Amino acid sequence: MQAWWGSLSDVLRVLYCIAIPSTLILILQLLLTMIGGHGDAGVEVSDTSGIDGMDTDFDADLDGNGIPDYLEAPHMTDGGNPADFGSLRLLTLQTVVTFLAVFGWVSIICITAGMPTLVGGGIGLACGLVMMFVVAKLVQVSRKLAENGVLNLRNAIGETATVYLTVPEKNGGTGKITMRLQGRFGEFDAISDSDKPIENGAQVLVIDVRGDELVVERNG
């Protein structure tokens, strides 16, 4: 090992010092992602793909601002501004580590193959920048998909639904409605301010959200 290291030029030694640690960090990131260590959402949403029941237990106020979190716009962070989380982010831990690993190994391969140092380094730099952009784009797409998967009951306001279990009159309890929300069909708890109950099968309009219940009125 010492003989091999001593046979390397100063440039190759620097490149190995860049490539090996960054590759180890990249592998660690991948392992953490595979075992669930890269959880950004902080909100667990139950499966609503079926119509046999839905748990809409969204009461938690995780950020302590007095507003239930399900009423707030879903958010995720990766160390940047949450308001801009859908934008392309080139300077993140994933992209920087990817750039260093690709730049280091490609430059090593090119220089070892006999290319001039500047040419090999230039090719490594170009490949690193390309992979940096690719990873940033993949992260952007994955975060957008995750955002779309977080249910926000406020999105139901103004939508029509069908009564599944009779919705009692005002202060009379809770019924259930079925509707498609954010591309998924499911059941939701519903209440009404009407003086009369809304019977099973009736078409209703969602007009508000109270707690984890949708406020509905007869449609038409």
Question: DSSP readout, 97-164?
Answer: HHHHHHHHHHHHHHHHTT--HHHHHHHHHHHHHHHHHHHHHHHHHHHHHHHHTS--GGGGTT-EEEEE
Q: How far is CA 52 from CA 34, 48, 118, in A?
A: 31, 9, 64
In this structure, how many other beta carbons lie within 10 angstroms of the beta carbon of residue 3?
6
Q: Beta partners for 217? A: 205
Residue 1 or 14, more confident: 14
In this structure, how many other beta carbons lie within 10 angstroms of the beta carbon of residue 187?
20
Mean pLDDT of 29-37: 76
**Which tens digit of pLDDT belongs to each residue from 159-189?**
999 999 999 999 889 999 999 887 788 899 9
Going along the chain from its start, the domains and CATH numbers come out as: 2-41+76-148 (no CATH), 153-218 (2.40.50.140)
Average pLDDT of the residues of the chain: 78
Return the sign of the alpha-carbon dihedral for residues 112, 115, 116, 117: negative
Please give the Cα distance from 172 to 193 (Å, whole number): 9
**Which tens digit of pLDDT belongs to each residue from 75-91?**
333 434 433 444 677 78
Locus of tokens 């202060």: 171
* The token pair that represents 220 in the structure block: 């038409």
- Most confidently predicted of 60-64, 82-86, 121-125, 182-186: 121-125
Best CA proximity match to 210, nearest among 170, 183, 166? 170
Is the predicted pLDDT of residue 23 greater than 70, yes or no?
yes
Non-local (6+) Cβ contacts of 169 within 8 A are: 192, 194, 195, 196, 197
What is the model's pLDDT at position 216?
Answer: 95
